[in-house]
Structure 1
C-alpha cells in the first residue's frame, strides 16, 4: 500500500527540484546554477509530500493573466501511478481557474509517458503543433 501524500501550494526549493528532476531522468535538462532564478520567476507551485519526504512537484510559468504553462511536473518513480501527478496537475489548473479574469490558454510539453496523464486533464493537440528552440546567450 502506498503511503498517503499531502499537497502544499508552494514551489519546490532548488534542492527539492533537483532531487525530483534527477530521480525522473532530467538531470541533464537543467542548468542548476539558474534554477533558483527560474523557480523565483514562477507564478505558482505545488509540492507533494509523503511524511517529510518530497515525492512530487509541479509549477506554473507565464504571464499570470492569459497564458500559462505547466512546467516540471515530476513524481518519484516509486510513487508514480498513485495519483500524485494527477493531483498536482489538478491543483495547478485550479489555481489558474481561481485567478484568471477570462479564458486562459494553458500549454505544456510532455514526455511520451506523460501524455495520457495530460489527456485525462483535457489537454490535446487541437489544430496546433508544439514547437520550441534553444537560444544561446550572446558572448560578451
Structure 2
C-alpha cells in the first residue's frame, strides 16, 4: 500500500454521499448529509497518494454520555488492506483522549465487520441488551 493521508474533521457532502454508495452503504440525501456531517463529533477520511478518498468513519453523539461510531466504509478495491484498521485507530484515539470515561460507545456492525470492531474492545450486547432500529 502506498502512502495514505488521514484527513480529520472535514468530509465534504459530495464525497460522503459518493463514498457511502460506492462502498455498499445506503444512500443519503443532500439535506441529510449536510445536517449529519455538521453535527459530527469527529470524522476521518483516508485518501491515497492521488488524493482519492478511499475510506471514512465518524463519531456522532452528545460527546459525554452516549456516542456512536457510524459511516465506517472503504471502497471495495481497497478493502482488506488495513484501511478499516486505520480508520478505527483514529476513531479510538479520539474516544480515548476526548470522551469521558463513562461515555457509552456503540456501533452497528454490518456483515463480518464485527471481527474488526472486536479488536478494539467492542462486544456483542446480547443477551443483556438488543439493538433496535427505525428506518424513516
TM-score (norm: length of structure 1): 0.86
Residue 12 of structure 1 is matched in structure 2 by 11
Would you say the 8 A contact 1:11–1:59 is kept in 2? no
The within-5 A match list for 1:80-99 is 80-99=79-98
Q: For the residues of structure 1 that align with 2:6 and 2:47, how far apart are their CA atoms? A: 7
Q: For the residues of structure 1 that align with 2:86 and 2:133, how far apart are their CA atoms? A: 27
Would you say the 8 A contact 2:61–2:67 is kept in 1? yes
In the alignment, does 2:37 pair up with 1:39?
yes
Q: Which of the pair has more CA radius of gyration? A: 1
What is the CA distance between 1:46 and its match in structure 2?
A: 0.6
- Report SS of the residue matched to 2:30: coil
Residue 138 of structure 1 is matched in structure 2 by none
Q: For the residues of structure 1 that align with 2:58 and 2:100, how far apart are their CA atoms? A: 20
Deviations 1:55-97 (A, max 9, x none): 1100010001121100101111111111111111121121021
What is the CA distance between 1:33 and its match in structure 2?
A: 2.8
How many residues are treated as equivalent by the alignment?
A: 133
Residue 133 of structure 2 is matched in structure 1 by 132
What is the CA distance between 1:99 and its match in structure 2?
A: 1.2
Residue 3 of structure 1 is matched in structure 2 by 2
The within-5 A match list for 1:23-102 is 23-26=22-25, 28-51=26-49, 52-102=51-101
Would you say the 8 A contact 1:61–1:69 is kept in 2? yes
Q: For the residues of structure 2 that align with 1:121 and 1:20, how far apart are their CA atoms? A: 24
Question: Aligned-residue CA RMSD in angstroms?
Answer: 1.5
TM-score (norm: length of structure 2): 0.89
Gaps of 5+ in 2: none
Would you say the 8 A contact 1:70–1:108 is kept in 2? yes
